[in-house]
Amino acid sequence: MRIVLLGAPGSGKGTQGKMLSDAKNIPKISTGDALRAAVDAGTELGLKAAPYMTTGKLAPDPLVIGIVEERLEQADAKPGFILDGFPRNTEQAQVLDAMLKRHGQPAIDKAIHLQVEDEEIIRRLHLRAIKEGRHDDKEDVIRHRIEVYNAETHPLLAYYEAQHKLVTVPGVGTLEEIFKRVLSVLS
């Protein structure tokens, strides 16, 4: 099972991705988590990515593509994986498709879009700022991340729709309600 999770920042990709990863016993791969770990560790990747992350911009494609390519080659990702936060633009989606082909792996099965209204997104990101203290959950950065999502990531819905892989799930309600919907679109 090879899944892409789509949705604005704060739409629940991380949470639902983790639940799905536990239920299906396949890894969740989050480029955001990988980049934050690299920033914390002070690696070259982290140093390169940090200025983009703190301002809510997309990090350069080669950086995130490198992370995904390396991770997909690991044994635990061979039976399947859940991508959280990648692809983030059409270029990355095309590279992902080509990468799977090149590695002789089956294509993405489904792109699950967690749909949440902008106002709810802003509310959640403010809450997360208080709870987790993420540097990019600040008012102006939040706004910018939503703009970036709408401009660069939202077009991916059409990309996966054209491949007949897009399923949209309302991302509101309790975690269990949302997760039931996620499971039902996969069955």
Stretch that binds ligand AMP, among 48-56, 73-81, 106-114, 171-179 (CB under 6 A): 48-56
Kindly identify the residues of this chain, within the stretch 54-83, that bind ligand AMP according to CB under 6 A.
56-59, 64
> Per the structure block, which two tokens stand in for 25?
């016993």
Query: Count of CB atoms within 10 A of residue 10's CB?
Result: 24
Residues in contact with ligand AMP, shown as a per-residue x/- string from 10 to 29 under the rule CB under 6 A:
--------------------
Among 9, 12, 17, 46, binds ligand AMP (CB under 6 A): 9
Using CA atoms, how far apart are residues 78 and 173, in angstroms rounded to an integer? 33
Distance separating the N- and C-terminal Cα atoms of the chain: 11
Report, in Å, the least distance between residue 114 CB and ligand AMP: 13
Report, in Å, the least distance between residue 34 CB and ligand AMP: 8
Nearer Cβ to ligand AMP (57/176) = 57
DSSP 44-103: HHHHHHHHHHHHTPPPPHHHHHHHHHHHHTSGGGSS-EEEES---SHHHHHHHHHHHHHT
Task: Answer yes or no: 71 catalytic.
Answer: no
> Per the structure block, which two tokens stand in for 70?
């390396």
Whether the CB-CB separation of 130 and 81 falls below 8 Å is answered with no
Three-state DSSP class for 120? helix
Of the residues 2, 13, 110, 124, only one is catalytic, namely 13
Kindly identify the residues of this chain, within the stretch 137-156, that bind ligand AMP according to CB under 6 A.
145
Task: Answer yes or no: 128 catalytic.
Answer: yes
Question: Active-site residue numbers?
Answer: 13, 88, 128, 134, 145
Which residues of this chain interact with ligand AMP, rule CB under 6 A? Answer: 9, 31-32, 35, 52-53, 56-59, 64, 85-86, 88, 92, 136, 145
